[in-house]
Homo-oligomer: A and B are copies of this chain.
Amino acid sequence: MTSPESIALIRSLSAVRQFADRPIPRQARDDIFEVVRWSGNASNRQQFEVLWVEDRDLLQRLAGTEGYAKHLAGAAAGAVIATWMERDELNAFDEGRIAERIMLAAHAHGISSCIGWLRGRGGEEAKQLLGLPADRTVRTTISLGFAAEGARRGRRRRPTGEVIRIAGRS
């Protein structure tokens, strides 16, 4: 079982911040939900919840919170990750895993995405907008949608040898 198609998919994921006015197809949404459900996480406790937002008004309010998630305003859908583990490094790590899965599942449907971060009061504001309890950490958002025509993609990277290095005898 080798899948060059999947490697190409993972390799080609890139951030897009401008989206076309076109909804997320039902099948894509279902697949994203499935992939979130089967996300691995610390000790399999699954102390996270993903809030899925297609409501335009709510997307714009979330885009207006403090931080770097303005691109939610033009997204077809937004995913907001809430976590509640005892150590924040565990939360942040799981948020990274879940975000990557959501973006890859969307990408498999030709849907683009971009991570957003809430800073300062942004997390608390988002919790209020989403009706989430006080003990939740809300920090990571994902803006999703089909890329607008001419949308820029960030694809600059360091060469492989600077990013990965073989240690010990090989």
Contact = CB atoms under 8 A, between A and B. Distances in A.
A158 B105 contact: no
A66 B165 CA distance: 23
Given A2-B110, A97-B96, A104 B10 contact: yes
Interface of A: 1-7, 9-15, 27-28, 31, 33-40, 44, 46, 48-55, 57-59, 80, 88-101, 104-105, 108-110, 115, 130-131, 139-140, 154-160, 162-170
27 contacts: A3-B108, A5-B5, A6-B104, A6-B108, A7-B34, A10-B35, A10-B108, A11-B38, A14-B40, A15-B40, A36-B164, A37-B158, A39-B163, A46-B163, A51-B164, A52-B167, A53-B168, A57-B168, A88-B92, A89-B89, A89-B92, A89-B139, A92-B96, A93-B140, A94-B96, A95-B96, A96-B100
